[in-house]
Amino acid sequence: MEVGLAIPQMARGLNRDRVIGWCQAAETGPFSSISAGERITFRNLEGITLCAAAAVATERVRVMTNVIVLPWHEPALIAKELATIDVMSGGRLDVAVGVGGRWQDYAALNSPFENRHQRLDDAVAELKRLWSGGAAADGESVGPEPVQVGGPRFYGSAMGPKSMARVAKWAHGVSGFTLMADVAEAKRQFSSTESAWLAAGRNDKPRHITGTFVSLGNNSRDVLRQFAYEYLEVFSPDFARQLSDSMRIHEKSALRDLLVEMKEVGCDEFIVVPATSDPAMADEVAEVVAEVS
């Protein structure tokens, strides 16, 4: 099982130096990828921009957009942006896409919340068409040409059976997340993914990716719970407090056990999502990964 690092874009204090520190830690450590995603009405640095920075700041690890909320974007523009990152990374880009779950972000972008699943499917098809040389509305192609023939691999951020069935038609695998670091939950998702692949008539094995919030270092328990509360507060303060108080991956032993168990249930890549912007945490994660490799 591979282990990737997410840039801690939702944590307080993330700046240029710390972004570079996390990219360097991913590049030199026992890690497979560096990733960033999207959220609008929050304090985070913008995810596609971060992935572009990571593409330049690294040479070895894959760069992953985890997750792009594709219904927010005009297909021709996002096709150009992602192809540019693929060029800047030398063909190391993977693209996880989904519909998101926060109506507030849709409202901030004046993007309709309705019909978002179909818009996701249509956008994926259009990106693949454009990356394969298909013409845009003016009859011209949208460049640049991605380094990866046909464009980067897609992963779906799917939860329910209907979403999984849709993703099985176009994705290389599923990039999920377990908020409570629940191995049984991840195992069910892996099983559902494989069932969806079979139902879609596919013979290839889907790639299973999941992750969770992690905090290691000084005051790690409090850091994790405060981070999770702030991230989840949009849903309701009571809900956020209940879940954040139950967060448990704030010790090396807990992370070690989680990685071992995730590997046993068939996880192909586990993404550590740091609850602190301090890249010193990456050294502690690297020690755990080295132990279980």
Q: Look up residue 257 and give its two tokens.
A: 């056990």
| pLDDT score of 137 | 85
- Quick one: which H or E segment has residue 286? helix 280-292
End-to-end CA distance of the chain: 8
Domain that holds residue 100: 2-292
CATH number for the domain spanning 259: value is 3.20.20.30
Q: Which is it for strands 93-98 and 153-156: parallel, antiparallel or unpaired?
A: parallel
Tally of domains in the chain: 1
Residue 208, classed as helix, strand or coil, is strand
State the CB neighbour count (10 A cutoff) for residue 120. 25
Q: Are 229 and 244 in contact (CB under 8 A)?
A: yes
In angstroms, the Cα distances linking 141 to 88, 95, 119, 127, 146 are 19, 21, 22, 12, 12
| Alpha-carbon distance values, 178 to 61, 189, 247 (Å) | 23, 10, 11
Note the pLDDT of residue 24: 98
Q: Of 14, 6, 96, which is closest to residue 54 (Cα–Cα)?
A: 6
Count of CB atoms situated within 10 Å of the CB of 288: 23
pTM of the entire predicted model: 0.96
Mean pLDDT by 10 residues, the chain (293 residues): 98 98 98 97 97 98 97 97 98 97 94 96 97 91 95 92 94 97 97 97 97 97 96 91 95 98 98 98 98 91
Locate 100 and state its tokens: 């998101």
Cα 76 to Cα 71: distance, rounded to the nearest angstrom: 12
Dihedral of CA 66/70/72/75: which sign? positive
What's residue 285's pLDDT? 98
Q: What is the model's pLDDT at position 160?
A: 86
Asked whether the beta carbons of 216 and 281 are under 8 A apart, the reply is yes
